[in-house]
Each structure stands twice: as structure tokens, then as C-alpha cells.
Amino acid sequence: MSTPQTAIGLDDRPRVAGHFRLQWEEVQKAWVLLYPEGMVKLNGSAGEIMQRLDGEKTVQALIDELERAFETTALAADVLDFLAVAQRQGWVKP
């Protein structure tokens, strides 16, 4: 398994970037990120991660919460990979 390439580490407390607004869109049946120029529809996993980013919880706490919620283990690499993509897109700040 490869190491995720991200500047966000397990002790960081990421949050949704200020110019985005995360909300549930019933019509889309999905979490979306709204911004002045448009909208990003998130898949289920991305929505589960993004809705938990509060700027207070560490990434490790987020991973622990997701593993409990979905009764699984070993989500760290997937979560860090997604956060790397989200950071590159400007959706999250560490």
C-alpha cells in the first residue's frame, strides 16, 4: 500500500474552506459544496468525510469516528487520500 501524498496529517484539524458551503441537497440526494461559480456534487464517501470536518476534530479522530460509524477498520489511507485531493481542489484547509 502506498503512503498518501498530503500536507494534512493525522494531528491536523481540517475544515471546509471559507468560500465553500457544504449542504445536503435533497434533489441531488447528495452532499454538495456550493461556491460562487457553481457546485460540486460529492459521492457518498466524500460527503461522509466533509460533513465531519469542523476545524476542531483531528484527522485521527475523524478516522476513528468513521471506523466506528461504518463498523470497519483501516480507513486511514483512504481518508488521507481524499483529504489530499480535497486540499488540492481548495475544498479544505488544514
- As a whole number of angstroms, the distance between CA 4 and CA 19 comes to 26
Residue 43 is assigned to a structural domain of this protein:
yes
In a domain, 2, yes or no: no
Specify whether the CB–CB gap between 4 and 84 falls below 8 A: yes
Q: What percent of the chain has pLDDT over 70?
A: 94
Residue 10 lies in a domain: no
- The per-residue pLDDT for 7 is 82
- The pLDDT tens digits along the chain (94 residues) read 444 444 899 999 999 999 999 999 999 999 999 999 999 999 999 999 999 999 999 999 999 999 999 999 999 999 999 999 999 999 999 9
Domain that holds residue 38: 15-89
Report if residue 8 sits inside a domain: no
Is residue 21 included in any domain, yes or no?
yes
| CATH classification of the domain holding 24 | 1.10.10.1150
